[in-house]
Amino acid sequence: MKRFNHFLLAVLAVGLFAGCQTKQKQMKEELIDFIKKHDSIVIPLSRETNLAYWQAAITGSEEDFDKAQALQLKMVEIYSDTQALQTLERIKISGLVNDTLLARQLDLLYHQYLMAKADTSKLNEIVKMETKIEREFSIFRTQVNGKELTDNDVEEVLRGSKEINRQKEVWMAQKKIGRVVSEDVIRLVTMRNEVAKDMGFKNYHQMQLILSEQDPKVITALFDELDTLTKGVFAEVKGDIDNYFVSYYNLKSKEDLMPWNYQNRFFQEAPRIYDVDLSSYYTDKNLESLTAAYYSGIGLPIDGMLKNSDLYEKEGKNQHAFCISIDRKEDVRVLCNIKPNSYWMNTMLHEYGHAVYDYNIDPSLPFTLREPTHTFTTEAIAMIFGRFSSSPQWLQDMAGINEEEKMKIADNCFKTLRLEQLVFSRWSQVMYRFEKAMYEDPEQDLNKVWWDLVEEYQLIKRPPQRNEPDWATKIHIALFPCYYHNYLLGELLASQLYYYIVTNIIKSDDYKFQSFANNKDVGNYLKDNVFSVGSKYYWNDMIEKATGEKLTAKYYARQFVE
């Protein structure tokens, strides 16, 4: 009897194993078939959509925006397929897909198709509203005394003028875009929240983080930690900034300083308070050529990408900067509005950091995995390179300053970079916490919430009796929602990668005078360990494989806080 039971159990086990294998094979084949059908439709449509978006961004024409919108609506329709979502859910719940690449695609596709739980009419309306708001930003020009100013013109006045009344006039005029779009943005936020609730989330902010594989509690805890790390040090440097500007503008006291006096529309960039004019090193330089030479020198050439890019100001053109991969292969483009100064040198290095990442993702990977591991990992690469625009070593290696000049400006260059990081870190706190609050309650007094946060984290005083939707003047809040925290995560990873490269690739203990210029080992390391893998791995797994550690704030703190 005992022997019979053992025999029977063995037979059953073999049968169950064979049945499981059959089921696994069925699930695998079903997923492969799903992906083939998905790719056959999405690959050509995404290329067409990206091309239309690019055209709209460089022309600003209503016709081009309408075309881009129509294609985006087609993409929404694809990912609103409830039957497709049910198929993916069934395969995912089975747990039978154990092939690494297939399982990763399943996770990412499942997140994309979750929108099928939402009302398609709401999704379509969101696309239409986003297109309308984007066009308003694209065509808006600041008007002062009958003269039209571009965003570059506005920044030049704020950076370069000592006439406080002129600064105020331009700052106030530029903020009028807030009135133009704010009501639409609030409607958009409300609709996004409705969609998120349809999909089972508390609000859109929570949904965006979770679907991008980030735990909202972890992100908030990280921002709290960074707040603690930077609060005291920032208060000190903010005191230095205020003292400098009291003297610079010949004011009576710090109490007289207003937001328009800090050389930037949002105080998101460091004002020039140290005795080094970084822009002076770029006034006679071709930034396009400098960028190309630098990336070529580290084994990441960008010549083909430059040809497809649009880098100079045009009427109606988007006034910001971005990188876009048209086909997730070789057609990668950058939009900029170059002027020969340090801001645009930083921006060119930054955007082509995104570009070399996109361009060097392994083209043999499945289409769904041919994107950066995460939004903030591509930001990290862009930030590593953007930082070099204020590096004395980079200025020597690429812009041709001599050793004496390098050493003369070295200390103030580092102070400038440190100030940039601290200012940006505090600004990111405002953006993250404002968006979180806005999606939790879009009907509250957002004008007050905005300035309360600006005062708390940036230590900038609100203008007397100011009650305008200044929060709506930041394009990211409307069109790149719940994204901004990734910039700060990118800064953390940028420092982590920088320290790893200097220590293990360059094999140096000099963390101050580095530019990576003409070192192809750096480009090879990034290609092999960061770029090529695309989104094959969960972001923290990729970081650990590339640096030996999961994401940590300690290198950022070591570089800029301690």
Six-digit token pair at 435? 């968006």
Residue 21: predicted pLDDT: 79
Percent of the chain with pLDDT over 90: 94
Same domain, 90 and 219: no
What string of DSSP letters covers 77-123?
Answer: HHTT-HHHHHHHHHHHHHT----HHHHHHHHHHHHHHGGGGS-HHHH
Q: Is the pLDDT of residue 373 over 50?
A: yes
Asked whether residue 127 is domain-assigned, the answer is no
Question: Mean per-residue pLDDT for 70-89?
Answer: 95
Q: How do strand 147-149 and strand 322-325 relate by DSSP bridges? A: unpaired
Asked whether residue 308 is domain-assigned, the answer is no
Last residue of a domain, one of 101, 117, 133: 117
Domain range for 15: 2-117
Q: Euclidean distance between the first and final Cα of the chain, in Å?
A: 74
Question: Mean per-residue pLDDT for 140-159?
Answer: 93
Six-digit token pair at 426? 């505090």
Q: d(Cα 71, Cα 143) in Å, to the nearest integer?
A: 33
Same domain, 113 and 220: no
Q: Is the pLDDT of residue 2 over 90?
A: no
Residue 1: predicted pLDDT: 45
What SS3 state is found at 475? Answer: helix
CATH of the domain at 413: 1.10.1370.30
The string over 163-193, giving b where at least 16 C-beta atoms fall within 10 Å of a residue's C-beta and e elsewhere, is: ebeebebbbebbbebbeebbebbbebbebbb
- Plot region of 267 (φ>0 → left; ψ -120 to 50 → alpha; else → beta): left
What are the pLDDT digits (tens) for 101-139? 999 999 999 999 998 999 999 999 999 999 999 999 989
Q: d(Cα 13, Cα 480) in Å, to the nearest integer?
A: 53
Q: Is the pLDDT of residue 3 over 50?
A: no
Mean pLDDT, all residues of the chain: 94
Same domain, 98 and 222: no
Same domain, 243 and 361: yes
What are the pLDDT digits (tens) for 199-258? 999 999 999 999 999 999 999 999 999 999 999 999 999 999 999 999 999 999 999 999
Range name among 22-26, 170-174, 449-453 with the lowest pLDDT average: 22-26
Confidence of residue 20 (pLDDT cuts 50, 70, 90): low
Asked whether residue 41 is domain-assigned, the answer is yes
DSSP 310: B
Confidence of residue 9 (pLDDT cuts 50, 70, 90): low
Six-digit token pair at 135? 């066009």
Asked whether residue 17 is domain-assigned, the answer is yes
Residue 37: predicted pLDDT: 98
Residue 230: predicted pLDDT: 95
The string over 349-384, giving b where at least 16 C-beta atoms fall within 10 Å of a residue's C-beta and e elsewhere, is: bbbbbbbbbbbbbeeebbbbbbbbbbbbbbbbbbbb
Asked whether residue 291 is domain-assigned, the answer is yes
Percent of the chain with pLDDT over 70: 96
Same domain, 108 and 228: no
Last residue of a domain, one of 76, 100, 117: 117
Asked whether residue 137 is domain-assigned, the answer is no
Q: d(Cα 387, Cα 547) in Å, to the nearest integer?
A: 20
Same domain, 95 and 230: no
What string of DSSP letters covers 253-298?
Answer: -GGG--GGGGSSSSS-S----SS--GGGGTTTS-HHHHHHHHHHHT
Contact between residue 277 and residue 293 where contact means Cβ atoms under 8 Å apart: no
Residue 19: predicted pLDDT: 60
What are the pLDDT digits (tens) for 506-532? 999 999 999 999 999 999 999 999 999
Asked whether residue 478 is domain-assigned, the answer is yes
Asked whether residue 50 is domain-assigned, the answer is yes
Task: Identify the CA nearest to 288 among candidates 398, 380, 420.
Answer: 398
Task: Identify the CA nearest to 305 among candidates 361, 362, 358.
Answer: 358
Q: d(Cα 248, Cα 551) in Å, to the nearest integer?
A: 40
Same domain, 212 and 92: no
Last residue of a domain, one of 117, 135, 152: 117
Instruction: Give the count of domains, the chain.
Output: 2
Same domain, 84 and 217: no
Residue 264: predicted pLDDT: 92
Same domain, 113 and 216: no
Q: Name residue 142's beta-bridge partners.
A: 149
Q: Is the pLDDT of residue 15 over 90?
A: no
